[in-house]
Structure 1
Amino acid sequence: MGKSDLIYVVDDEKDICDLVCTELEYYGFDIRAYQTGAQALQAIKRQPPALCIVDLGLPDMDGLALVKELCDNANVGVLILSGRGSLPDRVLGLELGADDYITKPFEPRELVARVHSLLRRIGKDDSQPRPSNIKQARFADWTFNPATLTLTRDSGDILTLSTAEADLLGTLLRAPQQILSRDRLLGEQAIPYDRSIDSRMSRPRKKLEADPKEPRIIKTVYGAGYMLSTIVEWIDSA
Structure 2
Amino acid sequence: MKPANAPHVAILDDEPEIRRMLSDALEEAGFRTTCYGRATEFEAGLKRSAPDVCLVDLSLPDRDGLGIVHRLALESGAAIIIISGRAQVQDRVTGLELGADDYIIKPFDPSEVVARIRARLRKGRTAATPAMQVASFAGWRAHFDRYVLVNEAGEETPFSHAEGEVLRLFLDSPNRLITRAQMQETLGGAAGESFDRAMDVRISRLRTKLGEDPKNPKLIKTIYGAGYIFLGDVSWN
Separation (CA, whole Å) in 1 of partners of 2:66 and 2:13: 13
Separation (CA, whole Å) in 1 of partners of 2:83 and 2:23: 13
> 1:4 and 1:67, CA in 2 relative to 1: closer, same or farther beyond 3 A?
farther
Match of 1:105 among 82, 103, 107: 107
- Output one character per residue of 1:27-69: Cα deviation in whole Å (capped at 9) or x when no partner: 0100000011111111111100000000000111010000001
Match of 1:20 among 4, 16, 22: 22
Which AA in structure 1 matches 2:101? D
Query: Runs of 5+ in structure 1 lacking a partner?
Result: 126-238
- Output one character per residue of 1:94-148: Cα deviation in whole Å (capped at 9) or x when no partner: 11111100000001111111010011122299xxxxxxxxxxxxxxxxxxxxxxx
Q: Is the 8 A contact 2:6 2:30 kept in 1?
A: no
Separation (CA, whole Å) in 2 of partners of 1:3 and 1:101: 26
Separation (CA, whole Å) in 1 of partners of 2:46 and 2:70: 14
Match of 1:39 among 38, 41, 44: 41
Separation (CA, whole Å) in 2 of partners of 1:21 and 1:47: 17
Which AA in structure 1 matches 2:92? R
Query: Runs of 5+ in structure 2 lacking a partner?
Result: 128-237
Residue aligning to 2:51: 49
Aligned residues: 125
Separation (CA, whole Å) in 2 of partners of 1:109 and 1:67: 23
Residue aligning to 1:8: 10
Please show how residues 1-238 of structure 1 align to structure 2 within 5 Å.
1-2=3-4, 5-123=7-125
RMSD, matched Cα: 1.7
Q: Is the 8 A contact 1:12 1:59 kept in 2?
A: yes
Greater radius of gyration (CA): 1
Which AA in structure 1 matches 2:14? D
Q: Is the 8 A contact 1:10 1:40 kept in 2?
A: yes
Identity %: 41
Which AA in structure 2 matches 1:22? D
Which AA in structure 2 matches 1:30? R
